[in-house]
């Protein structure tokens, strides 16, 4: 299967096109469960969703969200917490209460149990309606670092050197935790719809590889080529155009 690549001009157009898809999903199913990646890429989309809610074009009063990944041993108030980032950029401004959020218990000592609890909560919540994802320069989705196959479960992982270097930029010199917990590839691929956002010149090389790849564990995002409803939104810089 080839990926449904939709080309947009720049990050602003990408945010609007992505928000159109999110609004469509939430309008069709107000209680939709949306997986919301952190990272720089989806921030414009989240800001656009917040704007649309303020303008009365998005009703998020029943929308639910699930986090994609988290550092281990980091609480939600730590500036490095990915949930904290998701909360500030999306959950709080959309008025989504804690009862409509699924997140990892990343502070406890039992990461395996946290992974099982998360999977159980997503499954008992009816599964993921839409996953909003970014891609790492090494082809990771969430913290499914290469190699990760399509069956990779939700689990604790050691972060790859590439990821530690990329993520260090977010935290202004603070130490980047070396372990994380991530939704597995199997959980990500179980989403009914997937929206992969790719923006900026740093992603040109990995996007080019992705568009030419068969499903291949050394490029975890390539597993999306076997998913029935994935849209890849890529701006001009990411397309190397
Ligand atoms: P980014 O991160 O959106 O900040 O580029 C994406 C990722 O590493 O998954």
Q: What is the mean pLDDT of the chain?
A: 95
Domains, the chain, in order of start with CATH, read 4-138+148-235 (3.40.50.1360)
Taking the chain, what is the end-to-end CA distance rounded to the nearest angstrom? 24
Task: Report the distance separating Cα 122 and Cα 188, nearest Å.
Answer: 11
The Cα–Cα gap between 69 and 118 comes to 11
Residue 9 banded pLDDT, cuts 50, 70, 90: very high
Query: Count of CB atoms within 10 A of residue 27's CB?
Result: 12
With b for 16 or more beta-carbon neighbours within 10 A and e for fewer, the 117-154 pattern comes to: bbbeebeeeeebbbbbbbbbebbbbbbbbbebebebeb
What's residue 91's pLDDT? 98
Task: Compute, in angstroms, the gap from residue 158 CA to the centroid of ligand 1.
Answer: 17
Kindly state the percentage of the chain with pLDDT values over 70: 99
The yes-or-no verdict on residue 175 having pLDDT over 90 is: no
Confidence (pLDDT) at 172 = 74
Is residue 40 part of the annotated active site? The answer reads no
Provide the β-strand partners of residue 215: none
Question: Which pLDDT score is estimated for 174?
Answer: 74
Q: Which two tokens stand for residue 91?
A: 């959950």
| Ligand 1 centre distance from Cα of residue 234 (Å) | 13
pLDDT at 170 over 80: no
The model's confidence at residue 162, banded by pLDDT at 50, 70 and 90, is: confident
Cα 206 from Cα 140, distance rounded (Å)? 10
Q: Which of 138, 149, 162, 216 is catalytic?
A: 138
Nearest CA to ligand 1 atom 1: 39
Q: Is 140 a catalytic residue?
A: yes
Ligand 1 neighbours by CB, cut-off 6 Å: 39-41, 134-136, 140, 166
Tens digits of residue pLDDT in 59-71: 999 999 999 999 9
Measure the CA–CA gap between 9 and 15, rounded to whole angstroms.
11
pLDDT category at 168 given cuts 50, 70, 90 is confident
Atom 2 (ligand 1) nearest CA: 39
Residues 6+ apart with CB under 8 A from 40: 134, 170
**Residue 1: predicted pLDDT:** 67
Question: Which tops the pLDDT comparison, 152 or 1?
Answer: 152
Residue 227 a catalytic site member? no
What average pLDDT does the segment 35-53 reach? 98
Determine the average pLDDT of the residues in 178-182: 95
Residue 19 has pLDDT above 80, yes or no: yes
Task: Please tell me the residue having the least CA distance from ligand 1 atom 7.
Answer: 136
Q: What is the pLDDT of residue 208?
A: 98
- Identify the band that residue 124 occupies on the pLDDT scale cut at 50, 70 and 90: very high
If you take atom 8 of ligand 1, which residue's CA is the nearest one?
Answer: 136
Catalytic residue among 48, 140, 167, 235: 140
pTM (two decimals): 0.96
pLDDT per residue as tens digits for the range 83-115: 999 999 999 999 999 999 999 999 988 999 999
pLDDT of residue 186: 98
Q: How far is the CA of 30 from the centre of ligand 1 (A)?
A: 28
């Amino acid at each position: 299967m080839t990926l449904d690549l939709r080309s947009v001009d720049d990050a602003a157009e990408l945010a609007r096109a992505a928000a159109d898809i999110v609004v469509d999903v939430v309008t069709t199913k107000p209680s939709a469960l949306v997986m919301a990646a952190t990272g720089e890429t989806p921030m414009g989309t989240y800001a656009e969703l917040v704007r649309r809610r303020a303008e009365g074009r998005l009703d998020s009063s029943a929308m639910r969200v699930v986090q994609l990944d988290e550092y281990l041993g980091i609480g939600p108030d730590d500036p490095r917490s990915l949930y904290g980032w998701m909360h500030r950029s999306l959950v709080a401004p959309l008025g989504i209460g804690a009862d409509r959020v699924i997140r990892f218990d990343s502070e406890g000592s039992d990461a395996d149990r946290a992974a099982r609890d998360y999977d159980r909560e997503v499954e008992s919540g009816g599964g993921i309606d839409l996953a909003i994802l970014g891609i790492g320069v090494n082809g990771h989705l969430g913290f499914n670092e290469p190699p990760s196959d399509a069956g990779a479960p939700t689990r604790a992982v050691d972060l790859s050197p590439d990821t530690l270097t990329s993520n260090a930029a977010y935290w202004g010199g603070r130490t980047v935790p070396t372990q994380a917990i991530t939704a597995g590839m199997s959980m990500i691929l179980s989403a009914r719809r997937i929206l992969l956002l790719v923006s900026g010149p740093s992603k040109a090389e990995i996007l080019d590889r992705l568009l030419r790849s068969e499903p291949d564990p050394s490029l975890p995002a390539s597993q999306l080529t076997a998913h029935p409803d994935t849209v890849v939104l890529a701006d001009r810089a990411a397309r190397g155009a």
